[in-house]
Structure 1
């Protein structure tokens, strides 16, 4: 509150306004935006990249299209996903969203 009062006050006669005070609100907005928006997004992207790099044969996964399956083969940019007995599909690694070990079984 004190900061807002100081910002609204007119400078005394004969003194110039501090240029830092005019940029302070903009700097505060940028800092808040970074800590509440950009940083958490970068953290999520890093976790997703680590998850996709750690995919291994036998992992149960879900694709972005909602297809559940088990990994039968891992290549550099794609995986072979077994969706039913002897039914394999080729899926890009970026199409895998999450590991199913943390999902609670539905009853």
Structure 2
């Protein structure tokens, strides 16, 4: 936001009422501002989303039997088996088969002990 304000401060003042600005220069300014807004949108919205998506893909690839996971719907369970697109979880005394993409977090890796 500060960068945009700095760019606006560097712009020349608006033309006086009696003079006309060159149409090519006005169009160039407009295209420049649109390009700047595009870059800002990319770094604020698109890039962080892609990074998060890569983290989730790595998380899904690292799931192993015995891991304790949390799904996007709030179910906490222990992974019993991993297939190509699904994961079988044990939650309480129930076996659930969910999509790998539904796993949002690995709360405890297999073999790790959180008890002291």
CA distance in 1, matches of 2:21, 2:43: 39
Cα deviation per residue 1:1-57 (whole Å; 9 max; x = unaligned)?
122xx26336x7795542422311111111100011110011001111110111111
Is the alpha carbon distance of 1:94 and 1:7 closer, same or farther for their aligned partners in structure 2, counting shifts above 3 Å? farther
2:96: which partner in 1?
A: 89
- Higher mean alpha-carbon deviation, 30-39 vs 18-27, is at 18-27
Q: Which runs of 5+ in 1 are unaligned?
A: none
Residue number among 71, 82, 85 corresponding to 2:79 in the alignment: 71
CA distance in 2, matches of 1:14, 1:46: 47
1:90 deviates by 0.8
TM-score normalized by the length of structure 2: 0.73
In the superposition, the TM-score normalised over structure 1's length comes to 0.79
Large movers: runs of 4+ above 4 Å? 12-16
Q: Is structure 2 residue 55 aligned with structure 1 residue 47? A: yes
Aligned length: 99
